[in-house]
Amino acid sequence: MELILGFIVLLACLFMGIKHGGIGLAVISGIGLMVYTFIFHFKPGSPPIGVMLTILAVVTCAGFLQTSGGLTVMLKAAERFLRNNPKHITILAPVTTWFLTVLCGTGHVVYTMFPIIYDISIKENIRPERPMAVSSIASQMGISASPVSVAVVSIVGFMAAAGYQYSLLQILAVSVPATLIGVLCAALISYHRGKDLADDENFQKMIQDPEQRDYVYGEQESLQGKKLPASYYRATIIFLLGIVCIAILGNFPDLLPHFADAKGKMKAISMTTVIQMVMLFVSSIILFACHTKAKEVGNSQVFRAGIVALVSVYGVAWMADTYFASQMGVLKGFLGTVVTNYPWAYALVLFFTSKLVNSQGAAVAIVMPMALKLGMDPVMVLSFIPACYGYFFLPTYPSDLACIGFDRSGTTRIGKFVLNHSFMLPGLTGVFTACVAGFVIAHILY
């Protein structure tokens, strides 16, 4: 009975929390913690401190990147690439937004790309829905392939906590090609979706009005032709070198400092600690080399979004750990058999949990530690990393809503029956094919 009642409390907190956003979700998790501890007498679990500190270091560095103008350099390069290849915008735009997210660790960079993608597609008479919807999906799929995203650093931390020594590079060796394959498949299936603009009666009727036509075909602001300060480029180079440094140290542990453990055995410091150090070090270099105003970092969009994710992971992971740890004996008997015999069930749970909490990092924090404690094969866990993105299922995520708003042609939209929205087909295609690719790649490599 405690198992069922405790699960009801967990779901109730998640449902209440999602109405109030990431920070609301975190604090409402406190209700669950109080109920579990003082009413059910569950022993309080442990918040993932190591994971949280890593997230904090990463989002701080990303905030310095944006404040210093380094992110603007990346966006300018992405715009130049797309404008030089306008005919293939449906394929190249999602690949570009995926790559930007991989570099920056957040899908929020896509907001600046939407008007560019729209402008190119409408001038080429390409239905804007085709590249725009899949670009929104691709920007979020890139999160599980980024070495500096909340989701990936959480995976590194939880794997280490469970005793599995998979380096950051080993994890990315699965998630990067898997998500890229998923993005390409989603783009291909979007190539001819919907009617061409010339055959779309609703669109043609709309542009009969001169004001509407001017609105649809109006000029968009562009970064091309704008001269950026040299400090912007320095910030970009410093940040990218930091990512390369993390990749090298993660792949060659002999380069890491070694210290004696409690038993006197020499061990390398953990990669979560290395990521924290490198990210803070890179932030300090950007601060001095680019004359960045540290006070403005806290106001940057990337930093604010990252802190919300951090607080969300804190509350949700602590509550989930308290519940699952107290019921581990019962869960091992039932769920242990399920995830062992039907590993795809883990992917489904991860997918729909991410929709519940609207966060890949929070979904990983809830589901992955439980699966590893139940004895799920870590290779299978790596196989289904792309499944942590499921919040496109209902079109309520900010990037999807922004995508709809930036499409002035009205072709990207929420359908009459809600679920038949513009993001469903590319989203399901992308995540499914990425999971299949991840399964194959993980089993070949490990």
pLDDT for 372-420, tens place per residue? 888 888 999 999 999 999 989 877 677 887 888 888 898 998 877 778 8
Instruction: Decide: residue 115, CB within 10 A, 0-12 exposed, 13-18 middle, 19+ buried.
Output: middle
Whether the Cβ atoms of residue 438 and residue 390 lie closer than 8 Å to each other: no
When pLDDT is averaged across residues 19-36 and rounded to a whole number, the result is: 83
Overall average pLDDT of the 78-96 stretch:
93
Specify the range with the lowest mean pLDDT, choosing from 47-56, 87-96, 165-174, 230-239: 47-56
Report the alpha-carbon distance of residue 380 to residue 443 in Å, rounded. 8
Using only the alpha carbons of the chain, give its radius of gyration: 22
**Is it the case that residue 347 has pLDDT exceeding 70?**
yes
CB 137 within 8 A of CB 427: yes
pLDDT tens digits, 156-165: 888 988 888 8
State how far the Cα of 161 lies from the Cα of 267, in Å rounded to an integer. Answer: 15
Name the residue among 224, 214, 203 with its Cα closest to residue 73.
224
Assign 3 a pLDDT band (cuts: 50, 70, 90).
confident
Kindly report the number of other CB atoms within 10 A of residue 267's CB atom. 12
Distance CA 435, CA 38 (A): 40
Q: How confident is the model at residue 359 (pLDDT cuts 50, 70, 90)?
A: confident
Q: What pLDDT digit, counting tens, does each position of 117-137 carry?
A: 998 999 899 999 999 999 999
Six-digit token pair at 103?
Answer: 């570099």
